[in-house]
Chain A
Amino acid sequence: MKQLIFGLAAGTTLVAFSILLQVSEETLQALIIFNVFFACMLFPLNGPLKRKMLALIMGNSVCLIWNNLFSVFVGAITAHALDGFNAVFVVLSPILNLLWVVSFWSLSLTFLANSKNERAAAKNAY
């Protein structure tokens, strides 16, 4: 529980820092969702707090880079008279964000895993 609160506090701080950087509305939305998710789904698991914090900071960096690149891409397309792409962006953006969030969360789980635990106990039963 303490680690969850710590994770949420750290996530809030990172979001506040991003606001100071004047990120776009879409990026801010993605950052808030990522931090709340990451804090709720990784911090309550057993594992060193340092690794969780490192993963959280890396995740925020990936989120900023990903969303900035994507908004530049969308801007470039809409500038060439494809206004309808904005509507596609509304649908695509959360789905594409989901893809990297899932990938990043999956990788973060491996940070927490301890190789000594790997099914050794169960295999002994055979």
Chain B
Amino acid sequence: MLIEVLETLFILLTAVMVAYLVRHYIFTITVLKTAQKKKTNSKTQNSVYPPTVSILVPARNEERVIGRLLQRMTELTYPKENLQVIVVDDASTDDTGKIAEQYSKAYNYIEVVKRDKKEGGCGKASALNAGLRHADGEIILCFDADYYPQRDIVEKLVKEFADPKVGAVQGRVIVLNEPQNIVTRLVALERIGGYCVDQEARNKLGLITQFGGTVGGFRRELLESLGGWDENLLAEDTDLTFRVYLAGYSVKYVSDAECYEEAVESWQAYWKQRYRWAKGHMQCAFKHSLNVLRSKKLGFIEKVDGLLLLNVYFMPVAVLFSWIIGVPLFFLKFSQCLTPFWTVISISLYSAVGNFAPFYEIGVGTYLDGRTRAQWLIPLLVFTFLYNIPICTKAFLDLLVSKLAGKNGNHWDKTAHSGNGNCYIASLLKH
């Protein structure tokens, strides 16, 4: 009886993993097919829709990078009379507030919202909500303090709001400090796969395009009607993505609205960041999975994609469980329904066709992005995948414990930014 249950569980887990791998292929082939057409029709349209825009910049102890972003804000080509930049100094203990104040004095469209220790330091969602209360714009955009956007990024992002069905937009994130070390190089590859293939394909196929929490924004009316950012979740961006879709709006991905970010520089920082993302995503999965299934505003394919997106951080956990179950089942020859022949065939096919899918996606992403050497490191992504297994498993177990104990269990472990990306900006501007 126990063996049968384990076998059924193993087959179910494998089926779910196969669904994700098929999704990788569908996304990659979609992007490859549309890439050629895009080349012939890549002229950007001039914006004829200049709404008032508020840019929120949540910042907590960002003295090493905030000046870079604010300087960039002064160089934006968007009409300054329609622009408001709000820096939320979230109980910083360094000079973040002072630097922001200097810019605020010099430029009248830059404002600083100060939060003291009592109200601040509760996470990004809380800081963004504080900024939203001071925002006047029709469109609310968000940028993290370590980001470095294109000069015309606001025009590129807001032009999508001319379509009344678009509730939110998302631009592309590129790693600024990519040459720094192996961690930043691998993160850069992950980003290329995520934006050049995943987001692009979702956009083309009309699926659930994800708002990534930064380099993007919302209609103010919609954001306020949704109640702003949910402060009880660690992945407030994914939560808002689903609330936008469940409200009948869509998120548009704008691939040519590019912004550089400073990626995590060490494996410890990678662990902290991914743990927060994994736990937050899992919280969203618990919150929204049923809502997605029941929604009348989403089609069948959107529901399937939404569920796959919501549950993506459970996959490394599923892989671990399928190893734990599958290896003893195979070697102890307990398997009743899987004969050796079919076992060998399925293992070969899964290993060859299935496991190649994420590498294929990222490889094609780098190819379409015009990279020449980044591909060499693609095989090393197997280590980041293996590293994600304990990260996601710990996040899952911690979430289960906090759910059983009836506690929130959230702790916003902020990613520290060293400012090492500053030295790459000069070379960026030279090209």
Contacts and interface: CB of A to CB of B under 8 A. Distances in A.
Interface of A: 29, 33, 37, 41, 44-45, 87, 90-91, 93-95, 97-99, 101-103, 105-107, 109-110, 112-115, 117-126
B352 interface: yes
Closest 4 CB pairs of A and B: A94-B351, A117-B370, A123-B431, A106-B378
Per DSSP, chain B at the interface is helix
A57 to B, nearest CB: 20
Contact of B352 (A91, A94, A106, A122): A94
Contacts of A120: 370, 431
B320 interface: no
Contact of A119 (B343, B359, B364, B371): B371
Contacts of A119: 369-371, 431
Interface residues of B, number: 39
Contacts of B428: 123, 126
B367 interface: yes
B352 A118 contact: no
Contacts, number: 100
Contacts of A124: 431
B337 interface: no
B429 interface: yes
B352 A98 contact: yes
B331 A87 contact: yes
A120 B428 CA distance: 10
B356 A37 contact: yes
Interface string B38-81: 00000000000000000000000000000000000000000000
B355 interface: yes
A37 B352 contact: yes
A125 B347 CA distance: 47
Contacts of A103: 378-379
Contacts of A37: 352-353, 356
B170 interface: no
Nearest to A119: B370
Contacts of A87: 330-331
18 contacts: A37-B352, A41-B360, A45-B364, A87-B331, A98-B351, A98-B356, A106-B379, A109-B363, A109-B366, A110-B372, A110-B375, A113-B370, A114-B370, A114-B372, A121-B370, A122-B258, A126-B428, A126-B431
Interface in B324-355: 327, 330-331, 343-344, 347-348, 350-353, 355
